[in-house]
Amino acid sequence: MQQLRLFLPCAAGVEDFLAEEAHALTGLQGEDLRVLRGGVLMRASWRDAQLLNLHSRLAQRVLIELSHTQYRNEQNLYDAASNVAWEIWFTPKQSFKVEVTAQHSPLTSLNFAALKVKDAIADRFRAKRGERPDVDTRWPDVRIYVHLTTEHATLYIDTSGEPLFKRGWREDKGDAPLKETLAAAMLAASGWDASTPLYDPCCGSGTIAIEAAQIACGIAAGSRRRFAFEKMLPFQPHVWAGLKEQAQAAEHAPTTEVFGSDVAHRMVDFAERNAERAGVAAVTQFRGGDALQRMPPVASGVMLLNPPYGERIEVAGVAGRREAAQTDDGAADFFPRLATHWKKHYAGWTAWMLTPDLKLPGKMRLKESRRVPMWNGPIECRLFRFDMVAGSARNPPAAPAR
């Protein structure tokens, strides 16, 4: 298939990491791989689109750009969609859905804009094939995205289907689960290279640990799910089978150990079941226990955690009980005590913590060595790095005797 324009959307702050990942997977660079706000634009092949779906841990979707035009009204959108050869991508027997996003669009109704694009697609099929495809807003075979700016309209067809953070293994989850793509972004931002033990002391349903374990074993992110491109007309089963065989052949024994613990034993059970489905049950070690009391699983390594905070989930364990007893803010008590515990028992470790509290280092009485801007959905966060220096929690030396 001829060269395509692929757009890989991602969370804000992840664009450069996604570009590095896309380069490593495809070898593309320069004008063929450009970093934009909110994603990466690539000039790549149909095979690359499948490869990126299979392996990318940071992209939210893999979209193919089919039209980029100026517009002023809804009729312009109808004309733009009418000029796209939809019939080379799917058939009238398949269902589709149109979604519209906008930044400073002059149009008053995005629903009406989506309706005009839908009508254009249906009318083109009726003219070309004598019948029109049905619309299915819940489980469509094909998803079409329209992005509007002040002057331009861009039409995409989605090769992913379900968003790529749905890896296919997380069936058990608790409150406010961390998306797999964000966990992978935290791993990328920390520079963890799968050669150092990794530990998440607030692991929840195990997302960070399982992502890390799959990386340590060379397991492709999308190896346990299906994709929308498998229903599209350009799809060639033998090419896709070859890509999956290559991915499976690249799997290997773990290069390091991965650990997780959580104060809720129910969440530990969830994490273990998720790890089993993800193919890393033998690689990960999950335990119950309060982060304020758990001792290091190994002598040194990297801690990576997304601890509880008010907009996601309340603090539990020792700090939570103290909150109930004193009607105090559990988080205000939790984080200073966590820092004290780390200083005393985790000398030599590096800790990375994702939080929306920009003043957290001061509350923990720790000096961060790095801070990386990152978004958890609509919540603006920072990924702080703390280096636990040996001896940082020791008592000061006694005054010399007179």
The set of residues, in sequence order, having a beta carbon less than 8 Å from that of 396 and lying 6+ positions away, is: none
Cite the beta strand spans of 71-160 per DSSP E.
96-102, 142-148, 152-158
Residue 196 in this model has a pLDDT that exceeds 50: yes
At residue 333 the predicted structure's pLDDT band, cuts being 50, 70 and 90, is confident
Residue 60 in this model has a pLDDT that exceeds 80: yes
What is the reported pLDDT for 326? 43
Residue 309 in this model has a pLDDT that exceeds 80: no
CATH class of the domain whose range is 180-222+249-387: alpha beta
Cβ–Cβ contacts within 10 Å for residue 357, how many?
A: 18
Residue 325 in this model has a pLDDT that exceeds 90: no
**Listed ranges 171-175, 207-211, 390-394; the one with the highest mean pLDDT:** 207-211
Dist. CA 9–CA 5, nearest whole Å: 13
Q: For the sheet containing 350-355, what is the strand order? A: 284-288, 258-262, 198-200, 302-305, 350-355, 379-387, 370-376
- The DSSP secondary-structure symbol of 41 reads E
- Where do you find CATH 3.30.2130.30 in the chain? 4-158
Q: Which residue has the higher pLDDT, 142 or 317?
A: 142
Dist. CA 347–CA 249, nearest whole Å: 39
CB-based contacts of 237-245 (< 8 A; 24+ apart in sequence): 239/47, 239/50, 240/50, 243/47, 243/50, 243/51, 243/54, 244/54
What is the reported pLDDT for 308? 78
According to DSSP, the residues that pair with 64 across neighbouring strands are: 6, 157
Q: Report the pLDDT averaged over residues 280-297.
A: 96
pLDDT digits (tens, 9 = 90+) for 237-271: 999 999 999 999 999 999 999 999 999 999 999 99
At residue 177 the predicted structure's pLDDT band, cuts being 50, 70 and 90, is confident
What's the CATH fold of domain 4-158?
VC0802-like (3.30.2130)
CA angle 159, 232, 155 (to 5 degrees): 50
Residue 392 in this model has a pLDDT that exceeds 70: no
Dihedral angle, C-alpha 112, 80, 40, 97, nearest 10 °: 50
Looking only at the bridges linking them, the beta strands covering 142-148 and 96-102 are parallel
Cβ–Cβ contacts within 10 Å for residue 239, how many?
A: 13
297 to 193, 269, 294, 308, 317: CA distances (angstroms) = 19, 19, 8, 21, 19
What is the reported pLDDT for 149? 96
- Where do you find CATH 3.40.50.150 in the chain? 180-222+249-387
pTM score of the predicted model? 0.90
What is the reported pLDDT for 324? 40
Residue 89 in this model has a pLDDT that exceeds 70: yes
Dist. CA 122–CA 144, nearest whole Å: 13
At residue 176 the predicted structure's pLDDT band, cuts being 50, 70 and 90, is low
pLDDT digits (tens, 9 = 90+) for 123-173: 999 999 999 999 999 999 999 999 999 999 999 999 999 999 999 999 877
Residue 399 in this model has a pLDDT that exceeds 70: no
What is the reported pLDDT for 1? 60
What is the reported pLDDT for 190? 97
Calculate the average pLDDT of the chain.
91
**Could you give the angle at which helices 207-217 and 180-190 cross, rounded to 10 degrees?**
60
